[in-house]
């Protein structure tokens, strides 16, 4: 019998995970460079271009922040839900619902910005919460799998947006396709095209981290997620906690939709969620259940998205960018798994024959 | 005591007939545990052989060796006179050994016919439901176990599911049927049907091994009995030569050292005359409608340790859960401090000062992936100093965790590490100390000494007597009669969800407890009753 030289531990230290993730990213970049070189592109030139148009220039940084803003919120939405052991796959739909609700307020009411923006914010949050209400109640009272219900509602929200933007709310002024007219209210800009939603999203993520670690509610959520049976044993009302966490999760994703509508796009458009809801799942997985980790995870995801757009300008097709995204995430997943393995001190083998 | 019978063939068998199964010197070891050692066993064609023993006596390990789930470290398995080794359970099945487990291994969403054909190499390659159902009907009639082939397993009663399990095994041409606690989930009528079918199976020259701890059933169904104790076989007896009290004594009868820990220290709280908690005719039914707790009435007095004896799985879990508010009773009344609390509300019980050391601490008392500090705060996170104004003070929780660890004498390098990194014994001590902190009125301790070494067991029992001296009502559930007899003031014996009797521990007689554990009515144990 061969002696097993590695043992899988149930937990992996954060430092090891970080180190292996950096290795994983470096390795995937090498692979990507190799493939690009084989297909006749210059990896060096592309890398230079990508760096210049993301981290290396002011416009690049502004774009990055605009990408990060919704990713922070959808990532936080999925992370918070994951704390109690549930998966909100429906951030995409809640994003649309929040965007629709905020747009409805903007189109239907007229008033000063100081009144309209809070109203739109509340509408966005309530829209997201409303969209997750049915999955929440089904989960809490009937044990219906939330992964399926939240996922399926995404398609309905997306189609509802198409309906509104081509039907009752279509742009009658400039005639833009699949879009409402430009909203009269918008979130003020802070730095270039970056609006105030970005720092607010960062503060929300930090605030959530504090709530989860420093409040009784947060403690109960963590216990409920780590072992529901122990939570019941401790007398924690698990059902009520599930309801509050899922509504919060939906509200966060709805807020992301409101920020996108009122801060970045300024209109409700069909397809505007741009997979931010689904990418929120990726961000949450990268963050490994920690709210603070959502910030670097969202940055990485924004970098990938932004690089993708730069590469598309260099005649690389969209599917190449998808493949690259997949490769990086795949390598990171392998790195995470390897971080669990520890070399085991084995007694020196007596004979090498076997 | 009767002499063990020699392994000669029973009378009425053609000379030279080998036993269906012969075990010679079987030994099976786990790290730190001898599960089986020097076990010899002969099972002849046409016999029902009962295997009797307490929890941990090695019955299940032995049967897992016979069915190829484990490979023995010592000894040999001989089938029909030929030595065999089973690399996998499939080998054992091919050799004609079939086992029906206590917890059925059926696919709930499949029909009976589908379950019978699942993983069966004789199943036709392309089988329509109609073909499978016809085949199942034929098998069912051949072996005399009536089932509805088209019924979904989830819709069947426990007894019907067991029939499907048996048919699954018989369809694979088993000649030796092993049944683990087959009557645990059956009604008396279903038990009668099962026994009729087993006798018919035996009449065809097949053999049955039945694992049981129910003495009356062993007496009724078996031809011979083998008793295991501490992993070794004590002996094999003709059932006709046995009586229940002799079997009970042999099963539990190791040397029990009686140390009286009932003596109170100076100034200890006396046994309170008014009960703190009362169960009045409490019954519980599980999801399948099986009554797991039957008409239990109990009084818990402050300053008293009530021991609960019984083979595991006879309602102890349900009793613990009812006493701590984790499980709703179906009928009866629970009285806590004079008021009726029939709602299953663990928070209410914990608030009233009911501590609970559960049987499976990792599953129900701890969140294994969270830190030691987080886990130690589980009972007090909502109270100052940890919980104030809806906040959670991690620093105060850390102080609490340090306190608990110090009292429990567990040295912990890092309170931030997941609690599953600790050994089972250390987890148990931490949970015990955590629960003792909140147990002002009642402590329900289910198997608190399980998995501890001897020194730690003594410490744990000391915790219980300390609490008792402070006037707390202690419920101590254990499978170790020695511990029970040493610390308890009274001992209740559970069987099949019933509290058979509650007896005074000081004068308790081990054989009596053994008989009650095996389901004998207390009335029949009185002097003058049938012996």
Of B374, B382, B418, the CB nearest to A216: B382
Partners of residue B356 in chain A, C-beta under 8 Å: 233
Neighbours of A56 (CB within 10 A): 13
The owner of tokens 């730690």 is B456
Beta carbons within 10 angstroms of residue B279's beta carbon: 22
Which chain B residues touch A220 with a CB distance below 8 Å? 381
Q: B242 vs A199, which has greater pLDDT?
A: A199
Chain A residue at shortest CA distance from B396: A214
Tokens of B52: 């009797």
Greater model confidence, B411 or A138: A138
Whole-number pLDDT of residue B14: 67
Provide the domain count of chain B.
3
> Which pLDDT score is estimated for B2?
43
Q: Please tell me whether residues B77 and B138 are part of one structural domain.
A: yes
Maximum pairwise Cα distance, chain B:
84
In the stretch 24-53 of chain B, residues with CB closer than 8 A to chain A read none
Using the beta-carbon criterion (under 8 Å), do B381 and A219 form an inter-chain contact? Answer: yes
* Residues in A touching B390 (Cβ below 8 Å): 215-217
B434–chain A nearest CA distance, Å: 12
B457 and B527 share a domain? yes
- Domain containing B234 equals 21-252
The Cα A280–Cα A258 span in angstroms is: 16
The pLDDT value recorded for residue B427 is: 87
- Using the beta-carbon criterion (under 8 Å), do A226 and B345 form an inter-chain contact? no
Element (H, E) at A114: helix A113-142
Q: CB–CB of A11 and B381 under 8 A?
A: no
Nearest-CA distance from B378 to chain A in Å?
A: 6
- Which residue among A217, A230, A235 places its CB closest to the CB of B347? A235
Percent of chain B with pLDDT over 90: 28
Nearest by CB: A223 against B345, B367, B420: B367
Domain boundary among B423, B438, B453: B438
Closest residue by Cα to residue A252 from A229, A284, A287, A224: A284
pLDDT (0 to 100) of residue A204: 97
pLDDT (tens, 9 = 90+) of chain A, 354 residues, equals 444 567 777 677 788 888 999 999 999 999 999 988 998 888 888 889 888 888 888 988 999 999 999 999 999 999 999 999 999 999 999 999 999 999 999 999 999 999 999 999 999 999 999 999 999 999 999 999 999 999 999 999 999 999 999 999 999 888 888 899 999 999 999 888 899 999 999 999 999 999 999 999 999 999 999 999 999 999 999 999 999 999 999 999 999 999 999 999 999 999 998 889 999 999 999 998 899 999 999 999 999 888 888 888 888 887 887 888 889 889 999 998 888 887 765 444 444 333
| Per-residue pLDDT reduced to its tens digit, B43-52 | 999 999 999 8
- B7 occurs within a structural domain: no
Mutate to test the interface with A, among B378, B418, B427 (most CBs of A within 10 A): B378
CATH number of B235's domain: 3.40.50.300
Whether chain A has a CB inside 8 Å of the CB on B364: the answer is: yes
Closest among B383, B476, B284 to A234, alpha carbons compared: B383
Cα separation, B348 vs A272, whole angstroms: 49
Interchain CB contact of B353 with A (< 8 Å): no
Q: Is B253 on the interface with A (CB under 8 A)?
A: no
Instruction: Verify whether the Cβ–Cβ distance A235 to B351 is below 8 Å.
Output: yes
Q: CB burial class (10 A; 0-12, 13-18, 19+) of residue A144?
A: middle
Please check whether residue B177 lies inside any domain of the structure: yes
Chain B 418-437, residues with CB within 8 Å of chain A CB atoms: 418, 420-421
Chain A residues within 8 A of B392 when measuring between CB atoms: 213-216, 218-219
Per-domain residue ranges of chain A:
58-313
For residues B302 and B395, membership in a common domain is answered with: no
Range in A291-300, B243-252, B392-401 the model is least confident about: B243-252
Tell me which residue in B346, B378, B392 faces A215 most closely, judged by beta carbons: B392
Cβ of A234 and B392 within 8 Å? no
Q: Looking at the domain assignment, is residue B330 inside a domain?
A: yes
Query: Do B245 and B265 belong together in one domain?
Result: no
Give A230's contacts in chain B (Cβ within 8 Å). 363-367, 378
Taking CB atoms and an 8 Å cutoff, what residues of chain A touch B369? 10-11, 226-227
Chain B neighbors of A234, CB-CB under 8 A? 346-347, 350, 378-379, 381
Task: Give, for B333, the enclosing helix (H) or strand (E).
Answer: strand B331-336
3-state secondary structure of B154: helix
Q: Could you tell me if A162 and A180 are in contact, meaning their C-beta atoms sit under 8 angstroms apart?
A: no
CB contact under 8 A, B374 and A215: no
CB contact under 8 A, A215 and B378: no
Residue B424 pLDDT > 90: no
Q: Are residues B376 and B510 in the same domain?
A: no
Q: Which helix (H) or strand (E) holds B283?
A: strand B275-285
Q: Are residues B140 and B285 in the same domain?
A: no
Task: Kindly state whether residues B475 and B346 are assigned to the same domain.
Answer: yes
The rounded distance, in Å, linking the Cα atoms of A102 and A265 is 13
- Kindly report the nearest CA distance between residue B362 and chain A, in angstroms: 9
Query: DSSP labels for A48-95?
Result: HHHHHHTTTSHHHHHHHHHHHHHHHHHHHHHHHHHHTT---TTHHHHH
Tell me what pLDDT residue B94 has. 87
Chain A CB contacts of B381 under 8 Å are 216, 219-220, 234
| Contact state of B345 with A235 under an 8 Å Cβ cutoff | yes
| DSSP assigned state of B313 | T
Q: Which residues of A touch B391 (CB under 8 A)?
A: 214-216
Nearest Cα to Cα of residue A43 among A54, A51, A32: A32
Minimal Cβ distance to B370: which of A10, A226, A233: A226
A295 to chain B nearest CA, in Å? 23
Inter-chain contact B378–A223, Cβ cutoff 8 Å? Answer: yes
Find the residue in B nearest to A213 (Cα).
B392
Shared domain check, B305 and B219 = no
- The answer to whether the CB atoms of B369 and A233 lie below 8 A apart is no
CATH 1.10.3470 describes domain A58-313: yes
**Chosen domain end from B212, B234, B252:** B252
Provide the shortest C-alpha distance from residue A227 to chain B (in Å). 5
Quote the minimal CA–CA distance from A330 to chain B in Å.
Answer: 25
**Do residues B94 and B188 both lie within one domain?**
yes
Helix, strand or coil for residue B159?
helix
Mutate to test the interface with B, among A82, A219, A224, A289 (most CBs of B within 10 A): A219
Q: Which of B219, B252, B285 represents a domain boundary (last residue)?
A: B252
Find the residue in A nearest to B417 (Cα): A11
What is the Cα–Cα distance from B384 to B442, expressed in whole angstroms?
Answer: 22
Q: Which chain B residues are Cβ-neighbours of A226 within 8 angstroms?
A: 367-370
The string of pLDDT tens digits covering residues A159-169 is 999 999 999 99
Contact assignment for A215 to B390 by CB distance below 8 Å: yes
B325 vs A contacts (CB less than 8 Å): 235
Query: For residue A350, what pLDDT is reported?
Result: 41
Q: What is the pLDDT of residue A281?
A: 94
Same domain, B311 and B455: yes
Phi-psi region of A53 (alpha: psi -120 to 50; beta: other; left: phi over 0): alpha
Contact B377, B386 (CB under 8 A): yes
Mean pLDDT (chain B) is 85
Decide if B16 is inside a domain.
Answer: no
Provide the terminal-to-terminal Cα distance of chain B, rounded to the nearest Å: 14
Collect all residues from A whose CB is shorter than 8 A from any CB in B.
10-11, 213-220, 222-223, 226-227, 229-237
Phi, psi (deg, nearest 5) at residue A183: -70, 145
Q: Give which of B320, B350, B367, B397 to mutate to test A binding, by max A Cβ within 10 Å.
A: B367
Are the Cβ atoms of A223 and B356 closer than 8 angstroms? no
CB-nearest to B346 from A215, A223, A235 is A235
Identify the CA nearest to B226 among candidates B377, B352, B397, B40.
B40
Both B163 and B51 in a single domain? yes
Q: A219–B363: do the CB atoms touch at under 8 Å?
A: no
Instruction: Report the chain B residue with the minimal C-alpha distance to residue A233.
Output: B346
Q: Give A234 to chain B, closest Cα distance, Å.
A: 6
What pLDDT score was predicted for residue A56?
86
On whether both B216 and B338 belong to a single domain, the answer is no
Closest-CA residue of chain B to A211: B391
pLDDT of B468 above 80: yes
Residue of B nearest to A230 (CA): B364
No. of H helices and E strands in chain B? 17, 22
């Amino acid at each position: 019998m061969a002696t097993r030289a590695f043992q899988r531990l149930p937990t992996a230290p954060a430092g090891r995970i970080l180190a292996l993730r950096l290795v994983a990213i470096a390795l995937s970049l090498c692979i990507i460079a190799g493939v690009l070189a084989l297909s006749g592109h210059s990896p060096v030139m592309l890398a230079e271009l990508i760096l210049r148009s993301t981290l290396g220039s002011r416009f690049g940084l502004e774009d990055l922040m605009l990408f990060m803003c919704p990713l922070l919120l959808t990532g936080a939405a999925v992370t918070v839900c994951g704390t109690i052991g549930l998966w909100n796959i429906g951030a995409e739909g809640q994003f649309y619902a929040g965007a629709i609700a905020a747009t409805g307020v903007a189109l239907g009411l007229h008033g000063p910005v100081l009144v309209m923006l809070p109203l739109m914010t509340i509408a966005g949050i309530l829209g997201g919460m409303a969209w997750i209400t049915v999955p929440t109640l089904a989960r809490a009272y009937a044990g219906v799998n939330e992964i399926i219900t939240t996922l399926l509602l995404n398609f309905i929200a997306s189609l509802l947006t198409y309906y509104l933007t081509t039907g009752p709310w279509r742009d009658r002024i400039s005639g833009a396709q699949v879009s409402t007219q430009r909203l009269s209210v918008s979130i003020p800009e802070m730095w270039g095209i970056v609006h105030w939603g970005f720092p607010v999203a960062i503060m929300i993520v930090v605030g959530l981290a504090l709530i989860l670690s420093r409040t009784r509610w947060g403690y109960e959520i963590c216990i409920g997620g780590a072992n529901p049976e122990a939570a019941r044993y401790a007398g924690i009302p698990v059902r009520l906690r599930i309801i509050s966490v899922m509504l919060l999760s939906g509200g966060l994703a709805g807020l992301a939709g409101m920020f996108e509508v009122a801060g970045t796009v300024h209109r409700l458009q069909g397809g505007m969620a741009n997979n931010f809801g689904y990418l929120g799942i990726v961000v949450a997985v990268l963050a490994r259940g920690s709210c603070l980790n959502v910030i670097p995870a969202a940055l990485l995801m924004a970098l990938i998205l932004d690089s993708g757009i730069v590469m598309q300008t260099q005649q690389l097709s969209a599917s190449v960018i998808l493949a690259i995204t997949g490769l990086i995430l795949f390598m990171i997943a392998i790195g995470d798994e390897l971080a669990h393995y520890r070399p085991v001190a084995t007694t020196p083998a007596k004979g090498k024959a076997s | 005591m009767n002499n063990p019978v020699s392994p000669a063939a029973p009378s009425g068998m053609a000379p030279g007939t080998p036993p269906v199964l012969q075990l010679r010197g079987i030994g099976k070891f786990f790290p730190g545990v001898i599960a089986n050692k020097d076990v010899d066993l002969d099972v002849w064609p046409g016999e029902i052989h009962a295997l009797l023993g307490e929890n941990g006596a090695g019955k299940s390990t032995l049967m897992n060796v016979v069915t190829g789930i484990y490979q023995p470290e010592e000894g040999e398995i001989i089938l029909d006179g030929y030595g065999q080794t089973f690399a996998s359970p499939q080998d054992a099945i091919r050799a004609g050994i079939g086992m029906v487990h206590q917890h059925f291994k059926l696919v709930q969403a499949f029909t009976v016919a589908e379950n019978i054909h699942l993983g069966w190499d004789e199943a036709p390659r392309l089988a329509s439901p109609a073909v499978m159902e016809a085949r199942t009907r034929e098998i069912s009639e051949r072996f005399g176990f009536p089932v509805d082939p088209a019924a979904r397993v989830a819709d069947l009663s426990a007894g019907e599911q067991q029939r499907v399990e048996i048919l699954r095994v018989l369809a694979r041409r088993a000649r030796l049927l092993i049944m683990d606690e087959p009557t645990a989930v059956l009604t008396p009528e279903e038990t009668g049907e099962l026994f009729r079918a087993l006798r018919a199976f035996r009449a065809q020259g097949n053999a049955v091994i039945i694992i049981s701890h129910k003495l009356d059933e062993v007496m009724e169904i078996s031809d011979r009995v083998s008793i295991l104790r501490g992993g070794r076989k004590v002996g094999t007896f003709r059932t006709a030569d046995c009586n229940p009290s002799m079997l009970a004594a042999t099963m539990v009868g190791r040397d029990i050292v009686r140390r009286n820990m009932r003596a109170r220290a100076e100034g200890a709280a006396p046994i309170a005359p008014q009960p703190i908690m009362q169960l009045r005719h409490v019954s519980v039914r599980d999801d399948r409608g099986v009554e797991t707790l039957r008409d239990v009435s109990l009084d818990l007095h402050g300053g008293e340790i009530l021991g609960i004896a019984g083979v595991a799985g006879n309602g102890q879990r349900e009793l613990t859960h009812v006493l701590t508010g984790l499980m709703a009773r179906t009928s009866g009344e629970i009285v806590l401090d004079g008021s009726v609390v029939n709602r299953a509300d663990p928070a209410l019980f914990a608030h009233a000062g009911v501590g609970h050391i559960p049987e499976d601490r990792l599953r129900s008392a701890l969140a294994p992936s969270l830190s030691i500090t987080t886990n130690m705060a589980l009972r007090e996170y909502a109270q100052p100093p940890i919980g104030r104004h809806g906040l959670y003070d991690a620093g105060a929780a850390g102080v609490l965790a340090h306190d608990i660890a110090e009292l429990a004498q567990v040295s912990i390098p890092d309170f931030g590490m997941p609690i599953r990194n600790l050994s089972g014994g250390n987890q148990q001590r931490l949970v015990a100390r955590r629960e003792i902190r909140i147990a002002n009125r009642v402590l329900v301790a289910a198997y608190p000494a399980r998995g501890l070494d001897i020194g730690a067991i003594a410490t744990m029992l000391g915790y219980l007597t300390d609490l008792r001296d402070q006037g707390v009502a202690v419920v101590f559930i254990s499978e170790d009669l020695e511990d029970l007899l040493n610390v308890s003031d009274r001992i209740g014996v559970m069987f099949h969800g019933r509290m058979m009797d509650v007896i005074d521990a000081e004068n308790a007689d081990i054989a009596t407890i053994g008989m009650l554990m095996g389901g004998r009515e207390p009335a029949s144990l009185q002097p003058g009753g049938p012996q």
